[in-house]
Amino acid sequence: MEHRIEKNDEGVSPVIAVILMVAITVVLAAVLYVWAASFLEQGESAPIATFFVSEDSAGVYHVEVIKVSKQEDLLGFSFFLKDGSGSTYVGGNGFGEVAMQFQGGEEMGIDMTYNGDDSALTSRAGNVSDDDGSQFPVHFSDNDRDSKLSSGDQFLVYGPEGGPAADGWKLDIQFDATGDIIGSAKLL
């Protein structure tokens, strides 16, 4: 009895080729879906800020913005003055909005350099600028007048001479869109 093995010279059968093409297409589609979904999940990312802190002879802490990883409007930032235990100072403007603005019909903000056309906000900017730290313990100066938090801008935090701050306190800056603290300046 003789057994013959015949060689198939036709190559891969068309059915197997179709199955392989469908499998490769499904895997490729899954990879592209995961890749695209990762971009959608990222949402808005918060900038990161770096500060330099110094104290003058009057007990005012100068918190200079050294670097911000991406530029965002001042309207998107809040500040929190925190004592040595990490609790937010609530005794008079120890937290709030950085930019001059209205929220719920109320004036907000600590930007001494506001140069908009609203007389109430201009008046508030003057009040912040003229304050010795007793009513507004934190002041802000948009030194390049670009209405963004950027390098060269400065916060003033009033210490024992006029305001509540002391060594060991810190100033946190929050990016409101994400709720992230983008930088902390420890008062030395």
Q: How confident is the model at residue 9 (pLDDT cuts 50, 70, 90)?
A: low
Tokens of 48: 């990161």
pTM: 0.77
Q: How confident is the model at residue 30 (pLDDT cuts 50, 70, 90)?
A: confident
Domains in the chain (CATH in brackets) are: 49-186 (2.60.40)
Burial level of 65, CB count in 10 A (0-12/13-18/19+)? buried
Cα distance between residue 89 and residue 122, in whole Å: 26
Tokens of 123: 């008046």
Q: Whose CA is closest to 98, among 117, 121, 120? A: 121
pLDDT digits (tens, 9 = 90+) for 136-182: 999 999 999 999 999 999 999 999 888 999 999 999 999 999 999 99
What pLDDT shows up at residue 160? Answer: 86
